[in-house]
Amino acid sequence: MYEVTVEQTFSAAHHLRDYSGPCEHQHGHNFKVRVTIQGERLNKAGMLVDFTDVKKAIREVFAIVDHRDLNEIPPFDKELNPTAENIAFFFQQKISASLANPDIKVSEVTVWETDKQSATYRP
């Protein structure tokens, strides 16, 4: 089993619905996202997946969320609360669809709201 990881950061505002505490008020984070790709086979170049392709897939999601209010963006406007857990899920779904390679799997996405707090989604 091979594993490749890429980390990137984006900035966004959010607030949490159905929650009582400081995070019910709008605030921002420099979110760090770590995407982990797994697979059994390497391509002819000896790569599980080209880092460039993973970074491009992450940038496509950043184009949706970076410097935005997450609460105004589907599915976070109604369907999902923009928690770190749900943001990790969202990235996993989007990046899986973008890479669309049956030989690899987006096995884990971790989203940090601060240096000390993160949430991970593993499908």
How many chain residues bind Zn ion (CB under 5 A)? 1
Min dist CB 32 to Zn ion, Å, is 13
Quote the CA–CA distance of 21 and 34 in Å, as a whole number. Answer: 27
> Rounded to the nearest 5 degrees, what angle is found at the Cα of 122, between the Cα atoms of 117 and 123?
150
User: What one-character DSSP code corresponds to residue 1?
Assistant: -
State the alpha helices, DSSP H only, in the chain: 51-65, 84-99
* Cβ 70 vs Cβ 15: under 8 Å: no
Nearest distance from C-beta of residue 113 to Zn ion, angstroms: 5
Q: Toward Zn ion, which CB reaches closer, 24 or 50?
A: 24
| Least separation in angstroms between CB 81 and Zn ion | 11
Which residues, numbered 21-40, are part of the site for Zn ion (CB under 5 A)?
23
- Name the residues that contact Zn ion, by CB under 5 A: 23
Write out the catalytic residue numbers. Answer: 23, 67, 113
